[in-house]
């Protein structure tokens, strides 16, 4: 399922227009992104938790040349599914 199919599904299930469903989905994604950027976590009970994980600096290897390279520390978004969500897809 891609974003446009998700918007159509939200529209069908909620009775909202596709334009309203698109705005609602965009606002939800934007709100989650802003919260994560501030360092907060977003918990949706029964669905899951969005958070930011820190990746430490490390050394790696360039697969083309075999040369050792340094990889900078970074932050990456993470999602942990909640029990209700896990149970719904069994």
In this structure, are residues 80 and 66 in contact, taking their beta carbons and an 8 Å threshold? no
Distance CA 44, CA 82 (A): 8
Tokens of 81: 């599914």
Q: Is the pTM of this model over 0.85?
A: no
Identify the CA nearest to 36 among candidates 55, 19, 24, 49: 49
pLDDT in tens, 54-83: 999 999 999 999 999 999 999 999 999 999
In this structure, are residues 82 and 59 in contact, taking their beta carbons and an 8 Å threshold? no
Domain boundaries, the chain: 3-88
pLDDT in tens, 11-54: 999 999 999 999 999 999 999 999 999 999 999 999 999 999 99
Q: So what's the architecture of 3-88 in CATH?
A: Irregular (4.10)
DSSP state for residue 38 in the 8-state scheme: T
Identify the CA nearest to 71 among candidates 84, 56, 81: 56
């Amino acid at each position: 399922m891609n974003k446009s199919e998700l918007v159509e599904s939200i529209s069908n299930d909620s009775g909202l227009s596709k334009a309203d469903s698109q705005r609602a989905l965009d606002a939800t994604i934007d709100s989650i992104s802003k919260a994560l950027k501030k360092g907060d976590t977003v918990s949706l009970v029964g669905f899951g938790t969005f958070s930011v994980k820190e990746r430490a600096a490390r050394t790696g290897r360039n697969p083309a040349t075999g040369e050792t390279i340094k990889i900078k520390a970074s932050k990456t978004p993470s999602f942990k599914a909640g029990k209700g969500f896990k149970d719904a897809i069994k």
